[in-house]
Amino acid sequence: DWTSDVFIDATIDELKEKIGEDKVVMGLSGGVDSSVAATLIHRAIGDNLTCVFVDNGLLRKNEYEEVLDSYKHLGLNVIGVDAKQRFYDALAGKSDPEEKRKAIGNTFIEVFDDEAHKIQGVKWLGQGTIYPDVIESVSVNGPSATIKSHHNVGGLPDFMKLKVVEPLNTLFKDGVREVGRALQIPENIIGRHPFPGPGLAIRILGDITPEKVAILQEVDHIFIQGLKDDKLYDEVWQAGAILLPVQSVGVMGDERTYEQVVALRAVTSVDGMTADWVHLPYEFLGKISNEIINKVKGVNRVVYDISSKPPATIEWE
Ligand code: XMP
């Protein structure tokens, strides 16, 4: 019978055996998988594991600080890298969704490679790969696909030459969450909605500027905090806001306004391959819409996305 405690003990033994006195480097995303994988590796080899958490300037409001803090509380040896400007520079003027993804993927590789270089004698790359990622090896998600398509000519970045250790590659998401809870990883990490690697960049349709990121962070924060306050967060598989490249006419006092439109999206899903829009209560949507329009400067209209996947996708880009 599978229990998380048996899995944890066996995995820690295996990791000790496999890695020995070697050093491991690992990128953390703030998500469940990489956090649980890192915690397991840390239990096995302690501070021979160095974790890297990159602020790409495309995270949710306060997420970088909060997640870094959680990692430190878990005792992980984690280096936080503020690379916001590098990502904004790489994204400047790019509007095509795939070009944006490539720019982000390549910048992540450069930043991570710089950090990995600073660790003397590192031999292993830790990864939070889970079983569905293994079977779905044609997945377009995650940085690995980008790495493969962009670095098979002219040599791989140095960290890609490392041996790979993936302690969760036999588990499904539920198993990962169970293991994470048994490892006492805080619920704000374990119960977290999935969040795409390119972050808010694919929720800002068109080109990215720090100003647009700041607007979307405020909108997203109101929506997500509202879901949590009204105990709806756990009913939803993934939620977020999209900043549309559209202005609409509004009125405020005696003034005519001409400002941005945002769309809210909340879906239920099992694996992200198909999804249904969530029938959030009208009262909730009304409250959130008011709060966004009243508090976020530059936004005068909120719409709710009622498309399912297929034929729509979860993200808009
Ligand atoms: P779509 O929009 O394809 O999204 O229905 C399905 C799931 O994948 C996530 N997603 C991504 N994750 N890099 C990622 O790491 C990406 O480029 C990417 N695009 C979409 C999306 O958030 C949803 O959970």
- The answer to whether the CB of 259 falls within 8 A of the CB of 300 is yes
Q: Ligand 1 within 6 A of 313 CB?
A: yes
Closest ligand 1 atom to 195 CA: 22
Closest ligand 1 atom to 312 CA: 5
- Among 120-129, 145-154, 167-176, whose mean pLDDT is lowest? 145-154
Pocket-testing residue among 270, 307, 314, 316, ligand 1, by greatest number of atoms within 8 A of Cβ: 314
Q: Residue 214 C-alpha to ligand 1 middle, in angstroms? A: 21
| Mean pLDDT confidence for 165-188 | 95
30 appears as a binding residue in the annotation:
yes
Examine the pLDDT at 208 and tell me if it is beyond 70.
yes
pLDDT for the residue 2: 81
Strand partners, 263: 242, 303
ipTM: 0.99
Q: Residue 191 C-alpha to ligand 1 middle, in angstroms? A: 18
| Mean pLDDT confidence for 152-165 | 75
pLDDT for the residue 146: 44
Confidence of residue 159 (pLDDT cuts 50, 70, 90): confident
Examine the pLDDT at 153 and tell me if it is beyond 70.
no
| Mean pLDDT confidence for 131-142 | 65
pLDDT for the residue 148: 43
Examine the pLDDT at 129 and tell me if it is beyond 70.
yes
pLDDT for the residue 139: 45
Q: Ligand 1 within 6 A of 62 CB?
A: no
Examine the pLDDT at 302 and tell me if it is beyond 50.
yes
d(CA 115, CA 81): 9
d(CA 58, CA 26): 20
pLDDT for the residue 155: 60
pLDDT for the residue 206: 97
pLDDT for the residue 48: 98
Q: Using CB atoms within 10 A of its CB, is residue 280 exposed (0-12), middle (13-18) or buried (19+)?
A: buried
| Mean pLDDT confidence for 88-93 | 98
Examine the pLDDT at 127 and tell me if it is beyond 90.
yes
Closest residue by Cα to atom 10, ligand 1, is: 196
Kindly report the average pLDDT of the chain as a whole number: 93
Percent of the chain with pLDDT over 70: 93
Closest ligand 1 atom to 275 CA: 5
Examine the pLDDT at 154 and tell me if it is beyond 70.
no
Q: Residue 242 C-alpha to ligand 1 middle, in angstroms? A: 14
- The answer to whether the CB of 4 falls within 8 A of the CB of 179 is yes
pLDDT for the residue 133: 85
pLDDT digits (tens, 9 = 90+) for 29-79: 999 999 999 999 999 999 999 999 999 999 999 999 999 999 999 999 999
Q: Ligand 1 within 6 A of 192 CB?
A: no
**Is the Cα torsion angle 55, 57, 60, 65 positive or negative in sign?**
positive
35 appears as a binding residue in the annotation:
yes
Q: How many beta carbons lie within 10 A of that of residue 205, not counting itself?
A: 16
Residue reference for tokens 């945002």: 262
pLDDT for the residue 136: 66
Q: Residue 59 C-alpha to ligand 1 middle, in angstroms? A: 15
Percent of the chain with pLDDT over 90: 88
d(CA 121, CA 6): 32
The pTM of this model reads 0.91
272 appears as a binding residue in the annotation:
no
Domains, the chain, ordered by start: 4-190 (3.40.50.620), 209-304 (3.30.300.10)
- Among 84-98, 130-144, 174-188, whose mean pLDDT is lowest? 130-144
Examine the pLDDT at 221 and tell me if it is beyond 80.
yes
Q: Ligand 1 within 6 A of 198 CB?
A: yes
